[in-house]
Structure 1
Amino acid sequence: MNILIVDDDQEIRDVLHVYLRNEGYHVAEAVDGLQALHILQQEEIHLIILDVMMPNMDGIAACLQIREKSDIPIIMLSAKEESLDKITGLSTGADDYVTKPFHPLELIARVKAQLRRQNFLIHQQGSASEILIDELVINKDQHMVTVRGNPVALTPIEFSILELLSLHRGQVFSVEKIHQCVWKDQTPFFSDNTVMVHVRNIREKIEINPRSPQYIKTVWGVGYKIEK
């Protein structure tokens, strides 16, 4: 597996490089978003660790450009801890968000969780390739979603959450259960807000009126579901 570290801090790159290499990953490095985009054109990368604050092109701008062409897992790093900054990072298409300072072993655990989830998606098989819910079409084989005939670009995490709820219509999933099913582990770094942000992003993309959703319903105090 090839991991790309994108951070203008040499010390952080050096530390993560050592930890990732010790886990058996091949590591590439970039000092800003522009260099990261160039590496992605030249090499096969399976996961990106992407800092937010960088010169030339920051992580937000880089993430947006990457998401135009790829659904590669992205873990965003930032020194900002406010919820709004986390929401912004996840809204641009990142799959996870880690605040600095962090313990390298925590980040390694998140890397492994993302790669396990991605591997599960690649090898997942189902009896039917498409799930039809009114005007919403979820193609599991092609990993594509259309609403009213229009293609919708979902991140891998967003697709997994939507697929989970659509395969179990009528069942209410708590945020904890969604995290366990989608991330494929019970990591101690779980945050309710992470799942809530992803659900909000899905609604923004598939619902006519996200404030009055047609597909993903909130069961207050319990979780989320798609009606039968």
Structure 2
Amino acid sequence: MDGPHDLGGAPGFGPVRFDPDDPLFSSDWERKVFGLTMATSTISLYNRDENRHARERMPVEEYRSTGYFEQWLVALETNLTELGVLDAAAVRERVAEFLDEPGREVRGKDRPELFELFRDTLEFGASLERPAAPPRFAVGSRVRAVRDAKPGHTRLPAYVRGHVGVVRRVDGAFVLPDTNAHHEGENPENTYNVGFSARDVWGKGDHEVLVDVWESYLEPAD
């Protein structure tokens, strides 16, 4: 979570607005990008942490000037070219062809077995919960978020690093994104819901900022 997407506490972006009546997709191409991403990850070409990290690696200005599913498309192309599934030059040529002839028909392959797998993933999910050692911390424990996150992909927000909080809930053990994104193993860890003082984190506010974190993101505060 190091990069242009880590916007917690960053000024100038305004509030996050959500309209429950907005459609899930504003264009048909967004639906297709979603389907392609889900399909290629469902057959284990890459995992969800790799996919997130591909978006995180976009240049700052490009990231902030593109829409959500444009970022998904960039990540899809990044993952598939880095894996050798697609050739970057061939992708550029194909894009040029469609820019010249946007109405061109795209031929696909009929793979009903993939559709069934894809549908099951959408309906039932693909849990990353795993067994792990007993939790190191308990509800009420005072903990400090580590100051230095692992380079690369991490889910520890920059705005809580180095701050002291209190464990409010002990959750299950899940795959550690920091290593899973880089093929360094799943290394499952216990996860916690930790409450941080808004005044400590933001400099104002009398409420708690609740953050879900992995065990290696925390150290005893006392």
TM-score bracket relative to the smaller structure: under 0.3
Q: TM-score normalised to the size of structure 2?
A: 0.25
Q: Which has the higher contact order (CA 8 A, sep 6+)?
A: 2
Q: TM-score normalised to the size of structure 1?
A: 0.24
